[in-house]
Structure 1
Amino acid sequence: LPQTELSIPAYYVLASAEASTNLSRYDGVRYGHRAAQFGDLEEMYSNTRAEGFGSEVKRRIMIGTYVLSHGYYDAYYLKAQKLRRLVANDFQTALQQCDVILAPTAPTTAPKLGSDIHDPVQMYLSDIYTIAVNLAGLPALTLPAGFGSDGLPVGVQLIGNYFSEAKILGVAHQMQLNSDWHSKMPV
């Protein structure tokens, strides 16, 4: 999968652009939360979005608005769409040689339940192994595959070709029949 490293910048450009356009309808008029206090329509929009969207959502909306703006659309959005196609082509080439791909889900063990990641870059990097799959639009399934030295779970993903969900579920079932990781609790 030689183009996988290109999936990270492409994904965040495309996901942010989609978030920006999809979330524009949440203005408090028809959809979503509406601020209780406002003076005019512009203030209602501003207060509604300030109250209703968290910092990560606001960050993605701003990035998406930027990459979709005049002068940057071709440089960022269209280029990211081309990279998406290259990543999807790599998966198609690989899946001609095998039924499913087994890959890590994350570069680290799972975070502790209730922990909060405050560094957005660290949060983005935790998605590094799943981004290419999402970008290519392929079905995948994550399942437990043991525990790290810290006692926290390790996940692996099974990636299949388009419309091969039954095959992925069958392989996952066989993995669970031959392991007991899914029945153990982390420390």
Structure 2
Amino acid sequence: MFKKLSSKLEKMFDQPSEVASHVENKPTTATVLKTDEFQITENNKLLENISYIFSGDQITEKDLPLLFSHLSSFFEGGFLFEKKQTNGVAILTQAFWAGKSISCKQLPQRTLHLPRTSAFKVLKTPTKTLMRHFGLDLGQNYNDSGLISYLIPLNDRYSIAVTTILAEPWARLRIELLQKTLMKINFPT
């Protein structure tokens, strides 16, 4: 029985697979596209798993920076805002760009007037405008890219803004997945 199973496995690996023959006949960009699609799918699954990490009881204010830091793996940029007053003025408490944390204490104009909207409603703004407001440079790779940032209020007090380099419709799908993931987490009020 073992010999029979072993010979079947050998035959299976000896024959070129459909994927391998497809790649040999196509340019290498087709292979890259398949790899990118796989990476996007895997990243989406990992993004969705954040809600499992922070599921259960209401997360505390101490957990918000940790939750926010997880987003740097999925987005080019991110900003965590906290409203100290009811007038809509928010303070930038944490930020990242291109995988690196940004020290918010050294930034000029750390406040921003955020629009009043319901929790988890997604709003869009040009990333260039947001970065200029805080005196940050997009970097050479992103200057002419027309990046969009997506603002998502978590509750009356906290909001996040994230930036993705993905084009439509993948950007919309990634943001919708983030929105659904955040809705599963019980944020402090």
Same fold, TM exceeding 0.5?
no
Structure number with bigger Rg: 2
Q: State the TM-score, normalized to the length of structure 2.
A: 0.28
- Pick the structure with more strand per residue: 2
Going by fraction, where is helix more abundant, 1 or 2?
1
Q: TM-score, normalised by structure 1?
A: 0.29
